[in-house]
Structure 1
Amino acid sequence: MLTKSPAPQNPLDRLTGAGLAWGVGTYARLAAPIGAAAFALYILFSAFTAWVMPDANWDMLPYLAIAEEGTYPDAQALHDYAYNTVKSGVSAGDYKALTDDGGGFRSHMAENAADFHSLLGMYRIKFLYAEILSTMSAVMSPVEAMRLVSVFSVLLFGAIALMWLRSEGALALAPVVGAVLIMADFGDAARASTPDLLTSALLLGGLYAYVRGREVATAILLFLAFMVRPDNIVFLAVFAVLLVAFRQRAWGALAGFAASFVAYFAISHWAHHPGWWPHLWFSSIEQHYNMDGFEPPFSIVAYLRAFATSLLRAVSLNSWVGVSVLALAGWFAADRAGFRLDRRAGILFAALVLGALAKFTVF
Structure 2
Amino acid sequence: MRAAIEPDPERPVTPAARLLETCFLTIYSGTCRLYRPLRHVIGALVLTVFALMVAAVVQIYPVSNWDMVAYTASVLESDISDPIELHDRSYALLKENVSEGEFQALTGDREYRIRQFEDPDAFATMLGFYRLKLGYVETARALSAFMDPVKSLRMISMLSAVAVAGVLLVWLARHGALMYGPIVVAMLIIADFGGSAALLSPDLYASIFLLLAGFLYIERQDLAAAASLIAALFIRPDHLAFIGVFFVFALIYGPGRWVMTATFVLSALAYAFVLKGESHPGWWIHLWFTHVEYVPTLEGFDPPMSPVIYLQMLVRSTVRSLMSNTWLAALLALVIFFAKVIKPAQMADRARILLYAIFTSICAKYLVFPHYETRFYFPYLIAMGTILLIAWHQQDKTASRSNPA
Name the TM tier (shorter chain). over 0.9
Corresponding residue to 1:341 among 342, 347, 361: 347
Structure 2 CA distance, aligned partners of 1:215 and 1:113?
46
Asked if structure 2 preserves the Cα contact closer than 8 Å seen for 1:85 and 1:143, the reply is: yes
Asked if structure 2 preserves the Cα contact closer than 8 Å seen for 1:150 and 1:198, the reply is: yes
Q: Look up the match of 1:186.
A: 193
Corresponding residue to 2:83 among 69, 75, 91: 75
Structure 1 CA distance, aligned partners of 2:279 and 2:311?
26
Structure 2 CA distance, aligned partners of 1:170 and 1:111?
54
Report the CA distance between 1:247 and its aligned residue: 3.0
CA deviations 1:64-116 (Å, max 9, x no partner) are 101111211111111111111111011111111111114x1111111111011
Corresponding residue to 1:307 among 295, 314, 317: 314
CA deviations 1:273-326 (Å, max 9, x no partner) are 111111111111121222134222211011111111111111111111111111
The one-letter amino acid of 1:50's match is V
Corresponding residue to 1:49 among 52, 57, 71: 57
> Are the structure 2 counterparts of residues 341 and 6 from structure 1 closer, same or farther at C-alpha, using a change threshold of 3 Å?
same
Asked if structure 1 preserves the Cα contact closer than 8 Å seen for 2:247 and 2:257, the reply is: no
Corresponding residue to 1:235 among 234, 242, 250: 242
Structure 2 CA distance, aligned partners of 1:328 and 1:13?
36
Q: Look up the match of 1:101.
A: 109
Calculate the TM-score normalised by the size of structure 1.
0.93
SS of equivalent residue, structure 1 residue 73: coil
Asked if structure 2 preserves the Cα contact closer than 8 Å seen for 1:334 and 1:340, the reply is: no
The one-letter amino acid of 1:319's match is T
Asked if structure 1 preserves the Cα contact closer than 8 Å seen for 2:75 and 2:149, the reply is: no
The one-letter amino acid of 1:344's match is R
Structure 1 CA distance, aligned partners of 2:202 and 2:325?
19
CA deviations 1:106-148 (Å, max 9, x no partner) are 1111111101100111111101111111111121122211111
Report the CA distance between 1:181 and its aligned residue: 0.8
Deviates more, 1:15-24 or 1:113-122: 15-24
> Are the structure 2 counterparts of residues 84 and 5 from structure 1 closer, same or farther at C-alpha, using a change threshold of 3 Å?
closer
CA deviations 1:307-361 (Å, max 9, x no partner) are 111111111111111111111122222225x884221111111111111111111
Report the CA distance between 1:27 and its aligned residue: 1.8
Deviates more, 1:53-62 or 1:23-32: 23-32
The one-letter amino acid of 2:197's match is A
RMSD: 2.0
Deviates more, 1:22-31 or 1:140-149: 22-31
**Alignment pair present for 1:61 and 2:55:** no
SS of equivalent residue, structure 1 residue 347: helix
**Equivalence map 1:80-91=2 (5 Å):** 80-91=88-99
Asked if structure 2 preserves the Cα contact closer than 8 Å seen for 1:202 and 1:222, the reply is: yes
The one-letter amino acid of 2:205's match is L
Asked if structure 2 preserves the Cα contact closer than 8 Å seen for 1:86 and 1:143, the reply is: yes
Report the CA distance between 1:24 and its aligned residue: 1.6
**Equivalence map 1:129-168=2 (5 Å):** 129-168=136-175
SS of equivalent residue, structure 2 residue 44: helix
Q: Look up the match of 1:127.
A: 134
Report the CA distance between 1:18 and its aligned residue: 3.2
CA deviations 1:180-201 (Å, max 9, x no partner) are 1111111111111111100011
Asked if structure 2 preserves the Cα contact closer than 8 Å seen for 1:62 and 1:120, the reply is: yes
Q: Look up the match of 2:372.
A: none
Corresponding residue to 1:37 among 38, 45, 50: 45
The one-letter amino acid of 1:131's match is E
**Alignment pair present for 1:360 and 2:371:** no
User: How many residues were matched structurally?
Assistant: 359
**Alignment pair present for 1:118 and 2:121:** no
SS of equivalent residue, structure 1 residue 155: helix
SS of equivalent residue, structure 2 residue 80: coil
Structure 1 CA distance, aligned partners of 2:172 and 2:27?
29
> Are the structure 2 counterparts of residues 19 and 223 from structure 1 closer, same or farther at C-alpha, using a change threshold of 3 Å?
same
> Are the structure 2 counterparts of residues 5 and 125 from structure 1 closer, same or farther at C-alpha, using a change threshold of 3 Å?
closer
Report the CA distance between 1:7 and its aligned residue: 4.4
Q: Which runs of 5+ in 1 are unaligned?
A: none
**Equivalence map 1:204-243=2 (5 Å):** 204-243=211-250
Asked if structure 1 preserves the Cα contact closer than 8 Å seen for 2:233 and 2:267, the reply is: yes
Structure 1 CA distance, aligned partners of 2:70 and 2:301?
18
Q: Look up the match of 2:6.
A: none
